[in-house]
């Protein structure tokens, strides 16, 4: 152990002599900035910490003291740095302060570094880490992560005159990376999944790697996209970044494992800050030319109009009475709620949605090597069946904050919501174009008339509505009877109609609007509350379905290809607890 620590100390001395400091992408190198205490390299925390059960939630301490202690990097601009006023500033510092302000508690910054952050968190010295922490799968055994709040990535830098446009163009070429950075893992995973042969060369610093690129000693450099963008701005025209990323590096807030109520408060606050525009404000401050992604933080139903508060959440640490994975492995069966036995005359939209939910469950089970047992007509009480242990998971659950006292919810696998459908030849795109026109609504959608009046009023456009009872009657009312000019309703109902009449009907994209949706509903999977390893298994499998393209293919009947959002994929290997998911 002493020999191992000595190697780390020598490596730290080399970095200091090079005048470099650890920076935002995980372990990459950047220019030094002032730091309160020189970072001390220590052994990384053993994954066995994940076996230790919590005896108190961080939420209980925050409630008791009225203070949230946040682990931040003090030398990693633009995410965190100690400025000349002695204050911590940066993207992460602004986010942490915004969360503390929303909660009505005092914000206390605590310096951490890349090596000791997890140890400081798990020892209880801080309540959470907001420190450019990349959500990597190998860390899930030691800590737990919030929703992704920043979409980092590992990217490929090439010479400005290089003809390469895609990653596949780098086959059989020489690729450099910085020794000790996460780039080596990103290169390995990309090479493994793409089946591309390359020659890899390591460098002590990013400057050395870029110099080698300029001398034609190598053909590309893989590094954090943030780092590479700075270089491109400094060396305009001589180097460029390929648009396709080598691998994702999603940043998330880190808490102790199975601290479910604390994690839920953090996730709800991230959603609130995203919807209020605060996340976009922080993004503009530190990345002014990069808009905040609309789909990065999905907004669940039931979020509410006021900022979430700590006293709205229980501060206990509930553990499941029975863990799902051992039962599934032993029985060879996963019990799935959330499906329905449809009548022969069921609308096409209901048929497609139920088929998708069943297909998602079957796809999960196939990768786990078990069979599915669907619980009949369980769409109405799916969450309760999971909470009581009668089902292992529930498909088709609308992501809603009202569920969190019963189940945990995964990332969404489906997005639907209100859209406009018009005749294909129409130039209409938005409600502003509909002044005085008749808008069709589905009589089965409660509040639809009020919604179109509200949207039309905000667009300063008066409209009238015409209610339609059956989905299949819409084309006739639009194309033959001319009773309505456009149709407004849930995309699940409109898409089958547009696909059945591709030359006559289309769903609008709202012209130049960045967001084609008038409302968004996210659908995910419910799993037993605080059964973390099983939730991770479901999350990883959904990510592997997306990585392979199977998820996108399953969505074809219920989503337009251009509407399918990018799936949040955490970097790491495809194997988990004996399952081969990739």
CA distance 145 to 551: 23
> How many C-beta neighbours within 10 Å does residue 294 have?
16
> How many C-beta neighbours within 10 Å does residue 347 have?
17
Q: Looking at the domain 418-507, which fold is it? A: D-Maltodextrin-Binding Protein; domain 2 (3.40.190)
Q: Looking at the domain 151-248, which fold is it? A: D-Maltodextrin-Binding Protein; domain 2 (3.40.190)
* Domains 151-248 and 330-415+520-580 alike in fold: yes
- CATH homologous superfamily of 2-149+249-296 equals Periplasmic binding protein-like II (3.40.190.10)
With CA atoms as reference, report the closest residue to 175 among 246, 227, 119, 104: 246
Scan for tokens 């270089």, then name that residue: 231
Q: What is the pTM of this model?
A: 0.89
* Tokens found for residue 134: 């990349």
pLDDT confidence of residue 52: 65
pLDDT confidence of residue 196: 86
Rounded mean pLDDT of 514-528?
A: 95
Rounded mean pLDDT of 437-462?
A: 93
Quick check: 229 and 221 in contact, CB under 8 A? Answer: no
pLDDT band at 519 (very low <50, low <70, confident <90, very high): very high
How high is the mean pLDDT of the chain?
Answer: 90
Residue 310 to residues 100, 143, 262, 327, 400, Cα–Cα distance (Å): 10, 21, 8, 34, 18
Share above pLDDT 90 across residues of the chain, in percent, rounded to a whole number: 83
Residues 473-518 pLDDT 10s: 999 999 999 999 999 999 999 999 999 999 999 999 988 777 899 9
Residues 560-581 pLDDT 10s: 999 999 999 999 999 999 999 9
Residues 149-173 pLDDT 10s: 999 999 999 999 999 999 999 999 9
- CATH homologous superfamily of 330-415+520-580 equals Periplasmic binding protein-like II (3.40.190.10)
Domains of the chain, by residue range, sit at 2-149+249-296, 151-248, 330-415+520-580, 418-507
With CA atoms as reference, report the closest residue to 521 among 390, 419, 373, 384: 419
């Amino acid at each position: 152990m002493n020999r191992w620590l000595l190697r780390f100390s020598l490596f730290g001395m080399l970095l200091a002599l090079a005048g470099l400091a650890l920076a935002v992408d995980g372990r990459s190198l950047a220019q030094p900035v002032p730091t309160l205490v020189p970072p001390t390299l220590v052994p990384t925390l053993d994954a066995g910490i994940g076996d230790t059960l919590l005896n108190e939630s961080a939420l209980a301490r925050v409630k008791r003291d009225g203070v949230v202690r946040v682990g931040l990097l003090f030398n990693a601009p633009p995410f965190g740095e100690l400025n000349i006023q002695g204050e911590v500033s940066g993207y992460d510092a602004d986010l942490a302060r915004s969360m503390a302000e929303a909660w009505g508690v005092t914000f206390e910054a605590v310096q951490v570094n890349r090596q000791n952050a997890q140890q400081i968190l798990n020892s209880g010295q801080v309540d959470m880490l907001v420190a450019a922490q990349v959500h990597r799968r190998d860390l899930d055994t030691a800590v737990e992560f919030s929703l992704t709040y920043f979409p980092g990535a590992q990217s490929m830098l090439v010479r400005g005159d290089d003809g390469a446009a895609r990653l596949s163009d780098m086959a059989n070429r020489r690729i450099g990376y910085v020794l000790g950075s996460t780039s080596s893992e990103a290169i390995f995973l990309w090479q493994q999944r793409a089946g591309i042969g390359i020659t890899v060369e390591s460098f002590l610093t990013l400057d050395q790697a870029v110099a080698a690129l300029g001398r034609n000693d190598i053909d590309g450099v893989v590094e954090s996209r943030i780092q590479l963008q700075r270089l491109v701005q400094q060396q305009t025209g001589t180097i460029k970044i390929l648009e396709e990323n080598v691998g994702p590096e999603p940043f998330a807030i880190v808490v102790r494992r199975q601290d479910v109520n604390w994690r839920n408060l953090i996730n709800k606050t991230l959603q609130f800050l995203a919807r209020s525009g605060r996340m976009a404000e922080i993004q503009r401050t530190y990345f002014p030319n990069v808009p905040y992604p609309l789909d990065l933080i999905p907004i669940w139903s039931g979020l509410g109009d006021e900022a979430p508060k700590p006293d709205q959440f229980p501060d206990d640490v509930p553990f499941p009475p029975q863990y799902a994975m051992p039962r599934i492995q032993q029985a060879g069966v996963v019990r799935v709620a959330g499906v329905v036995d449809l009548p022969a005359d069921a609308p096409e939209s209901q048929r497609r949605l139920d088929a998708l939910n069943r297909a998602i469950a079957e796809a999960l089970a196939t990768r786990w090597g078990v069979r599915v047992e669907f619980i009949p007509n369980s769409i109405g009480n799916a969450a309760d069946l999971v909470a009581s242990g009668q089902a292992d998971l529930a498909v088709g659950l609308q992501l809603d904050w009202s569920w969190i006292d019963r189940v945990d919810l995964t990332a969404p696998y489906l997005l639907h919501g209100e859209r406009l459908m018009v005749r294909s030849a129409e130039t209409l795109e938005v409600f502003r174009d509909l002044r005085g026109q008749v808008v069709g609504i589905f009589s089965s959608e409660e509040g639809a008339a009020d919604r179109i009046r509200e949207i039309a009023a905000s667009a300063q456009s008066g409209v009238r509505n015409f209610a339609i009872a059956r989905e299949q009657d819409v084309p006739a009312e639009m194309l033959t009877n001319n009773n309505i000019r456009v149709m407004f309703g849930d995309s699940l109902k409109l898409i089958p109609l547009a696909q059945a009449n591709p030359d006559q009907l289309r769903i609008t994209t709202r012209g130049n609007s960045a967001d084609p949706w008038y409302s968004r509903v996210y659908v995910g999977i419910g799993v037993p509350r605080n059964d973390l390893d099983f939730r991770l298994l479901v999350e990883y499998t959904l990510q592997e379905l997306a990585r392979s393209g199977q998820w996108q293919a399953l969505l074809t009947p219920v989503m337009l290809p251009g509407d399918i959002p990018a799936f949040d994929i955490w970097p790491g290997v495809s194997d988990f607890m004996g399952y081969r998911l990739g």
